[in-house]
Amino acid sequence: MSRIAYVNGQYVPHKDAAVHIEDRGYQFADGVYEVCEVWNQHIIDMPRHFDRLDRSLRELRIAWPATRKAVEFVVKEVVRRNKVNSGLVYIQVTRGVARRDHFFPGDDVAPSIVVTARNTSPAAADRQAEAGINVVTYPENRWPRVDIKSVALLPNVLAKQHAKDNGGKEAWYIDDEGNVTEGGSTNAWIVTGEGVLVTRPADSGILRGITRAVVLDLVNREKIRFEERPFSLEEALSAREAFVTAASTLVMPVVKIDDRIVGNGHPGTVATALRHLFHTATDLQKV
């Protein structure tokens, strides 16, 4: 089956989909993105992802490329046209195409939008979750505005490649105080020896993950003991459990941090329960 992408108003074969060489996303990483999970032909938490997209656009003073309703329609249509049952849909908006100049272009330049979607294997992801993943630590070296979901992901690319080169699936950023901020493309969590779930507050240093927000809803609903506070690498190394969250991984147990085994070396009960319960707490929109 041929894949279809949406580029600036048109549905085009994925292999031919292209943006102009002077798109500011390409020249300056001057753009933002969202990734939503598609689950059994439903888009997961679209309102929350669109709220965050709206916020990212506002922070960077980029206009919506079309009305929110129109973009929602396109997102569903791209999922439908690609016959995605379970997978991911990607939305990217940049400041548009203009002669290369650092200053913002005039109001006559329209933002660019690209939407793509693809199937992923839920069975493979579940197998991965049953084994757990290794994370590799990396010094926090990103700009302070990581709350904006910008396409400027070079530090994340380098951190994640470092993790991969060292046998990990994810990097954990460690800040100057020795605290874990987040993963290269995930939020970070631990369960302490006393059984308390801990994640860093989202007011600075991390992206306010949508999956994180759903897990917080679940934690309240299931009355799981929980603290929102920074945690150090040292505390993570002596934790009972660790896991990461993102639209692309859902709740994914962590069994090793660098060369140190977490807990008993197997996915923890809290992470596993949260993974199983996850879709009972999400907003589901049929495509």
Residue 103 beta carbon to ligand PDD: minimum distance, rounded to whole angstroms = 28
Question: Where would I find the H helices in 86-172?
Answer: 122-131, 154-165
How would you classify the pairing of strands 42-44 and 284-286?
Answer: antiparallel
Q: Which residues pair with 137 in a beta bridge?
A: 172
- Give yes or no for residue 211 binding ligand PDD (CB under 6 A): yes
Catalytic residue among 76, 149, 160, 169: 149
Q: Fill in the per-residue mask, 219 to 248: x = in contact with ligand PDD (CB under 6 A), - = not in contact.
A: --------------------------xxxx
Measured CA to CA in angstroms, residue 76 lies from 38, 59, 271 at distances of: 10, 26, 30
Query: Which residues ranging from 155 to 194 are in contact with ligand PDD (CB under 6 A)?
Result: 182, 185-187
Query: Which residues ranging from 3 to 62 are in contact with ligand PDD (CB under 6 A)?
Result: 35
Task: For residue 104, count CB atoms less than 10 angstroms from its CB and return exposed for 0-12, middle for 13-18, buried for 19 or more.
Answer: middle
CA distance 8 to 123: 34
247 φ, ψ (degrees, to nearest 5): -60, -30
Residue 194 beta carbon to ligand PDD: minimum distance, rounded to whole angstroms = 26
Binding segment (CB under 6 A) for ligand PDD, from list 61-69, 108-116, 164-172, 202-210: 202-210
Instruction: Report how many residues bind ligand PDD under the rule CB under 6 A.
Output: 14
- Give yes or no for residue 209 binding ligand PDD (CB under 6 A): yes
CA distance 142 to 283: 31
**Known active-site residue 149:** yes
Q: Which of 120, 248 has the CB closer to ligand PDD?
A: 248
Residues near ligand PDD, by CB under 6 A? 35, 182, 185-187, 207, 209-212, 245-248
- Annotated catalytic sites, by residue? 149
